[in-house]
Structure formats: structure tokens, C-alpha cells
Amino acid sequence: MSRAPRCAAGSINYTWDGGNRLTQIVDSLAGTLGCGYGWRDHPRSETTPQGTVG
């Protein structure tokens, strides 16, 4: 599932998985943020243009 609100200076797209967890945010100006989940849907990792945490 994706949703793309309109921004004056660019666009932001959100993507969720089948469990309704946010998995990706794509900002046309700042880049992509990825979200990973582990046991019991706890956030496990976050990936940005600068690298991965988690």
C-alpha cells in the first residue's frame, strides 16, 4: 500500500507492508528512509542515505 501526498517543493511517498507497518518513506528531496521490524513488530533497523542503524 502506498500513499503520496503533494508537497510544494517535492513529494513524499509512504509504503506499508501487509501487517500495516511503515516500511519505506521516499522523499524526493532528502532521499529514502527504510524501516525494518523484528520480533513482535518492534523496530529493528532504519536505513537512510547516510547508512543503516540497528
Q: pTM for the full model? A: 0.69
The model's confidence at residue 7, banded by pLDDT at 50, 70 and 90, is low
Place of cell 502506498: 2
Give every CB contact of residue 4 below 8 A, 6+ residues apart in sequence. Answer: 11, 12, 13, 14
Give the pLDDT confidence of 21-53 residue by residue, as tens digits: 999 999 988 889 999 888 888 888 888 888 888
CA angle 51/53/54 to nearest 5° reads 145
CB 8 within 8 A of CB 15: no
Question: What does the pLDDT average to over 14-25?
Answer: 92
pLDDT computed for residue 8 by the predictor: 60
Query: CA-to-CA distance for 51 and 1, rounded, in angstroms?
Result: 25
